[in-house]
Chains A and B, each alone.
Chain A
Amino acid sequence: MIFGLGIAFLLTSALTVAGAVAAAVLKNLVHCALSLTVTFAGLALLYLELGAQFAGFSQILVYIGAVAILVVFAILLTRGAAVPEYRNYSSSWFLGLAIAAAVFALLTWAVTKSLPASETVSAPAVNVQSIGVALMSTYVLPLEIVAVLLTVALIGAVIVAMPESREPKSSLERSGK
Chain B
Amino acid sequence: MSFSSKLDQIFILLQHWIAGFFPQALQPVVGTILGVVAIVAAFPGIFALTTVLERKGLGRMQNRLGPNRVGPLGILQPVADGIKSLTKEDIVPLSADALVHFLAPVVLVVAIFLCYAVLPVGRNMVLMNMDAGLLFFFAIGASTELSIFMAGWSSRNKYSLLGAMRAVAQMISYEVPLLLSSVVAVMITGSLSTVKIVEAQSGFTGWFPHWYVFTPWGFAGFVLFVIAALAETNRSPFDLPEGESELVAGYFTEYSGFKFALFFLGEYLGMFSIAGFAITLFLGGWGAPLSVLGFIPSWAWFFAKLFGAIFFFIWLRGTMPRLRQDQLMNFAWKFMLPMALLNLLVAGAWRFLGEGWSRWVICSVVLIGAYVLLGRVLMRGQHLGPRSYRYAD
Contact = CB atoms under 8 A, between A and B. Distances in A.
Query: Touching in the complex, A and B, CB below 8 A?
Result: yes
Contacts of A76: 153, 161, 165
Interface in B81-140: 97, 100, 130-132, 135-136, 138-140
A60 B135 CA distance: 10
Interface stretch (B20-28, B142-150, B199-207, B274-282): B142-150
A127 B140 contact: no
A128 B133 CA distance: 11
Interface size grouping (class) on chain A: 20 to 34
A27 to B, nearest CB: 12
Nearest to A70: B172
Contact of B143 (A28, A54, A60): A60
Interface stretch (A13-21, A61-69, A88-96, A136-144): A61-69
A34 interface: yes
B12 interface: no
A172 to B, nearest CB: 14
B310 to A, nearest CB: 26
A58 B139 contact: yes
A129 interface: yes
A57 B149 contact: no
B168 interface: yes
Contacts of A46: none
B374 interface: no
B249 interface: no
A61 B100 contact: no
Interface in A113-166: 127-129
Interface in B369-387: 383
A93 B168 CA distance: 37
A93 to B, nearest CB: 28
Interface of A: 28, 30-31, 34, 37, 53-54, 57-58, 60-61, 64-66, 68-69, 72-73, 76, 127-129, 177
16 contacts: A53-B130, A53-B132, A54-B132, A54-B135, A61-B138, A61-B139, A64-B139, A64-B143, A65-B143, A65-B146, A69-B145, A69-B146, A69-B168, A72-B149, A128-B132, A129-B190
Given A65-B142, A69-B172, A72-B149, 10 more contacts: A53-B131, A53-B135, A53-B136, A57-B135, A60-B142, A65-B141, A66-B142, A66-B172, A69-B145, A72-B146
